[in-house]
Chains A and B, each alone.
Chain A
Amino acid sequence: MKRTEKIKIRLIGVSLPILLLILWHYVVSAGYVSHHILPLPGQVVETLVSLFTDHKLILHIAVSLRRVIYGFLIGTASGFLLGLLMGLSRIAEKILAPTFHTVRQVPLIGWIPLIVMWFGMNELPRILIVAIGAFYPTTLNTFSGVRDVPRRYKELAAVYGYTGFKLILRVILPSAFPSIITGFTLSLGMSWVLLIAAELLIETIAGIGKLIDVGRDTFNMELVVSGILISGLLGFAMTGIVEKLVQTVQKGRVFEQEL
């Protein structure tokens, strides 16, 4: 593809956000929306710049990242194990699935008051809330990935005497890999959602959600919008890192083949 082609495609992709930005500026400056509710883009940029030069922003980001990463790891690890167990064993599925699917119906945010009751108002409940968000997508996708391993691969493995760990590691998990990765990606998204919710709903001293909260309390809408933008950017960056990691593990291999 020629360089000019690539640049054209980039420009088209960027044109919509720029259009929205212009629209945003116009709508506020012309008075259709009060600047008390929605600040001008320029004001948000000012706030962002001052946040960056103020060293405290790094602290907020670090605190939030810590919660997200721990919660994500706990949630996906346990989700993966449960999904794997239920996928491999029909008995385990029969025993665990009804409870799992019932508990799953509880709205995630509804867990927050309960967990605060049980664990208080410190880091553990916040991490647990993120973990709950990360738990379900990985469980479901791992389960379906393992369950959907084509019978023809399992037969092939049986012919060659693959059993136990060998079967799981070398046939079942590679075949389920795309589903599992989808689960991880969804879990990552949910982790960020639950993080902001936890930081907004549970009293905390630091974190991106805390910034949003402070902004809301002091009617500092520039701070609110800045906080949202930062959390979006961080989520975007984390997803990008996970995708890069997956690509290096995958090494260009294909895990499914149409016949």
Chain B
Amino acid sequence: MSIEKGTLQIRNLSKSFTVDGSELQVLNNINLTFPAGSFISIVGSSGCGKTTLLRILLGLETNYEGDALLDGERIEGPGTNRGIVFQDHRLLPWLTVGENVAFGLDKQNRKAKKKIVDEHLKLVGLSGFESAYPAQLSGGMAQRVAIARALANKPEILLLDEPLGALDALTRMHMQKELERLWLLEKITMVMVTHDVDEAIYLSDIVVIMSSRPGIIKKIIKVPFARPRDRASSEFSHIKAEILKEFHLGTEYPFAYAI
């Protein structure tokens, strides 16, 4: 049976780091399967290994036990079939917006490069900004350029490491809609690490809850709602409560104070 492009399988994945001589187990026996084309969020408090997991999928950490497979092949290093959007936009300040988007496009000739850059700037709503420098952009715009750069290589999966964390609350809500729009258009698998439970529920098909020390999968919650999702709906709140419970953040019955 051939595997559909963009399928991620993680089997018995473990990763430890040596810190000050002792071994720190960051990921412990992770098992996950991400169907092709789905939107997955990984939620967890700091230190639960979610960024390490992303780095393994990206190919920046190659020394791991178990298997992380993309389309059935073990991930052994970076490659253009996986794109990444970092929390800080990581645009190179000495390159224009256009040159930044074209960062991974060396194999193309000039005409093809220009076409791809124009296409993707249009996709993120930044046509006409090719000659601008990152320093001239707002945070939201810079992050959109970073998304354009990541998608320019037509990756099979897009990894997002708290992509909206550095943006203000209003821009973040706009960008969440943007991400959803792009995901629906490009139809690629997206794996997003986030702290924001609302964001996770709004965007994802599946929410993976991780806990820390050691990093394990606590719970996998499916979000089968229709899109676009209503943050105020009862089913939304229901799932939100379920997720928050896992973080011991559910509503507690308040004490009544007697005066």
B-contact 0/1 string along A241-259, CB 8 Å cutoff? 0000000000001111101
**Is the pair A255, B86 in contact by a Cβ cutoff of 8 Å?**
no
A-contact 0/1 string along B62-94, CB 8 Å cutoff? 000000000000000011100010101010111
Q: By the criterion of a CB under 8 Å from any partner CB, how many residues of chain B are at the interface?
A: 19
B78 to A: closest C-beta gap in Å: 5
**Is the pair B94, A161 in contact by a Cβ cutoff of 8 Å?**
no
Interface SS of chain B:
loop
Of A36-44, A101-109, A151-159, the one with at least 4 CB within 8 A of chain B: A151-159
**Is the pair B92, A159 in contact by a Cβ cutoff of 8 Å?**
no
B133 to A: closest C-beta gap in Å: 6
Q: What's the Cα separation between A155 and B94 when bound, in Å?
A: 17
**Is the pair B84, A171 in contact by a Cβ cutoff of 8 Å?**
no
**B60 close to chain A: CB less than 8 A:** yes
CB closest chain-B residue, reference A152:
B90
Find B94's partner among A158, A160, A166, A253 (CB 8 Å cutoff): A253
Find B135's partner among A159, A174, A177, A254 (CB 8 Å cutoff): A254
**B35 close to chain A: CB less than 8 A:** no
* Most central of B94, B104, B133, B134 by chain A CB within 10 Å: B94
Q: Chain A residues near B135 (CB, 8 Å)?
A: 254, 257
Say yes or no: A254-B94 contact (C-beta < 8 A), given A159-B78, A160-B78. Answer: yes
**Is the pair A159, B59 in contact by a Cβ cutoff of 8 Å?**
yes
Q: Chain A residues near B84 (CB, 8 Å)?
A: 159
Say yes or no: A152-B88 contact (C-beta < 8 A), given A161-B80, A255-B94. Answer: yes
Q: Chain B residues near A175 (CB, 8 Å)?
A: 94
**Is the pair B93, A254 in contact by a Cβ cutoff of 8 Å?**
yes
**B148 close to chain A: CB less than 8 A:** no
**Is the pair B88, A158 in contact by a Cβ cutoff of 8 Å?**
no
Find A158's partner among B60, B86, B103 (CB 8 Å cutoff): B60
Q: Chain B residues near A174 (CB, 8 Å)?
A: 92, 94
Q: What's the Cα separation between A153 and B91 when bound, in Å?
A: 9
Q: What's the Cα separation between A142 and B104 when bound, in Å?
A: 27
**Is the pair A153, B90 in contact by a Cβ cutoff of 8 Å?**
yes
Find A171's partner among B60, B86, B92 (CB 8 Å cutoff): B92
CB closest chain-B residue, reference A255:
B94
Q: What's the Cα separation between A150 and B156 when bound, in Å?
A: 28
Say yes or no: A160-B88 contact (C-beta < 8 A), given A257-B93, A257-B135. Answer: no
Find A155's partner among B60, B79, B92, B133 (CB 8 Å cutoff): B60
**B160 close to chain A: CB less than 8 A:** no
Q: What's the Cα separation between A153 and B80 when bound, in Å?
A: 17
Q: Chain B residues near A160 (CB, 8 Å)?
A: 78, 80, 103-104
A72 to B: closest C-beta gap in Å: 26
Q: What's the Cα separation between A153 and B86 when bound, in Å?
A: 11
**B58 close to chain A: CB less than 8 A:** yes
**Is the pair A161, B92 in contact by a Cβ cutoff of 8 Å?**
no
B-contact 0/1 string along A134-163, CB 8 Å cutoff? 000000000000000000110110111100
A167 to B: closest C-beta gap in Å: 12
CB closest chain-A residue, reference B146:
A156
A-contact 0/1 string along B99-125, CB 8 Å cutoff? 000011010000000000000000000
129-157 of chain B: CB within 8 A of chain A: 133-135
Q: What's the Cα separation between A177 and B104 when bound, in Å?
A: 22
Q: What's the Cα separation between A122 and B60 when bound, in Å?
A: 56
**Is the pair B78, A257 in contact by a Cβ cutoff of 8 Å?**
no
A25 to B: closest C-beta gap in Å: 49
Q: What's the Cα separation between A159 and B155 when bound, in Å?
A: 12
A-B contact sample (14 more), CB < 8 A, given A159-B84, A253-B93, A254-B133: A152-B88, A152-B90, A153-B90, A156-B86, A156-B90, A156-B103, A159-B58, A159-B60, A160-B104, A161-B78, A161-B104, A253-B94, A254-B93, A257-B134
A-B contact pairs, 12 of them (CB 8 A): A152-B90, A155-B60, A156-B90, A161-B79, A166-B106, A177-B94, A254-B94, A255-B93, A256-B93, A257-B134, A257-B135, A259-B88
Complex A-B, nearest 7 residue pairs according to Cβ-Cβ distance, in ascending order: A257-B93, A160-B104, A253-B94, A174-B94, A159-B78, A254-B93, A156-B90
Q: Which residues of B approach A to under 8 Å, CB–CB?
A: 58-60, 78-80, 84, 86, 88, 90, 92-94, 103-104, 106, 133-135
